[in-house]
Amino acid sequence: MNPTSQTPSTLTIRRPDDWHLHLRDGDALRAVVADTARQFSRAIIMPNLRPPVTTVEQAVAYRNQILKALQQRDEELSYKFEPLMTLYLTDNTSVDDVQAAASCEHVYAFKLYPAGATTNSDSGVTDLLGKCRAVLDAMQRLRIPLLVHGEVTDPNVDVFDREAVFVDRVMIPLRKDFPELKVVFEHITTRDGAHYVRDAQGPIAATITPQHLMYNRNAIFQGGLRPHWYCLPILKRELHRQALLEVATGDSPRFFLGTDSAPHARGLKEQDCGCAGCYNALHAMALYAQAFESVGRLDRLEAFASLRGPAFYDLPVNDGSITLIRQSYVVPEELPYIDGDTLVPLAAGQALTWRLQP
């Protein structure tokens, strides 16, 4: 849809997609799935469950669980939302697994978690080019994207430098050996990552979250340690946030929307070793709109949210549209979740300048 539909008080764009989403399973899935379906037509679903989704059969079963959960929440939404499934890449993934994925209409990519990089990543790859070379070759040949959590897990590397080091240690060697492999550098957080994706040769793209466009690392520490702002990759310095805004709102088709929305119960976040992840699915498009408006580029939101991702994944753009209203929206302090606990959304209690029209 042409962004000229914008008025001083509304913004209407073609219905967007979320190219990086955590939905969990069971009761947690049922608690959060409708928040995404209200805004997005499709979403790439992360496979880091316990146990991880490593086979086509598991992916199809998980997809059916997602659709059933959505129908239980609101049957009117179920037809609008399509989960796009991924498989968890491990040291034991085989070429047969890749061929099975390529033959399945519901599987769209493999996900690389370096072992120990984030939540439920203990089954991740320990030596990508050493143990997964045949699999990567098959993915390149069959045009199946590799989605990369781009951080090294070396304990000697500062947590704020792990993405930049990943570019040098993993991404550059990977793409030198497999130059035609489609790669998505997920949830980039640094100028290093943004400039690498912007300038690299071959089929590469990156997703960017609303929290990394809206906030820098000061948000984690304002008024004390604030665990609901803690995610991995962690929020970075202001210069990196500005670099992300520049590429997200710029002309390159390589950067598109991926919320990395990750629900965690309040009790698991607020403890001596709280888990990583921000829940933003409730108000993702309002956050993105505010970020784009902050640099005077609301006219570029549709390309970032609705057009570039489908082009990279060789999918059609969505029918229909969503409308955002320029109206103050106070993010709820908490949401109902599971097991008697609650879920604290990103920027809880803060006022945003946009909201999704019901």
Q: Is 17 annotated as a binding residue?
A: no
Q: Is 24 annotated as a binding residue?
A: yes
d(CA 134, CA 186): 23
Q: Is 35 annotated as a binding residue?
A: no
Whether omega before 51 lies within 30 degrees of 0, making that bond cis, reads yes
Q: Is 260 annotated as a binding residue?
A: yes
Q: Is 149 annotated as a binding residue?
A: yes
Q: Is 22 annotated as a binding residue?
A: yes
Among 108, 19, 29, which residue's Cα sits nearest to residue 67? 29
Q: Is 248 annotated as a binding residue?
A: no
260 flagged as catalytic: yes
Which residues contact residue 168 at a Cβ distance below 8 angstroms, ignoring those fewer than 6 apart? none
Q: Is 111 annotated as a binding residue?
A: yes
Q: Is 89 annotated as a binding residue?
A: no
Strand-strand pairing, 183-186 and 204-208? parallel
H or E element at residue 99: helix 95-103
Among 152, 262, 145, 279, which residue's Cα sits nearest to residue 206? 145
d(CA 131, CA 91): 6
**Is residue 194 within 8 Å of 202, Cβ to Cβ?**
no
Q: Which of 25, 260, 314, 341 is catalytic?
A: 260
Q: Is 187 annotated as a binding residue?
A: yes
Distance spanning both ends of the chain, measured CA to CA: 19
Among 220, 159, 158, which residue's Cα sits nearest to residue 347? 220
Q: Is 156 annotated as a binding residue?
A: no
d(CA 104, CA 113): 22
Q: Is 264 annotated as a binding residue?
A: yes
Binding residues for Zn(2+): 20, 22, 111, 149, 187, 260
Binding residues for substrate: 22-24, 48, 149, 232, 264, 276
Q: Which residues are known catalytic residues? A: 260
Binding residues: 20, 22-24, 48, 111, 149, 187, 232, 260, 264, 276
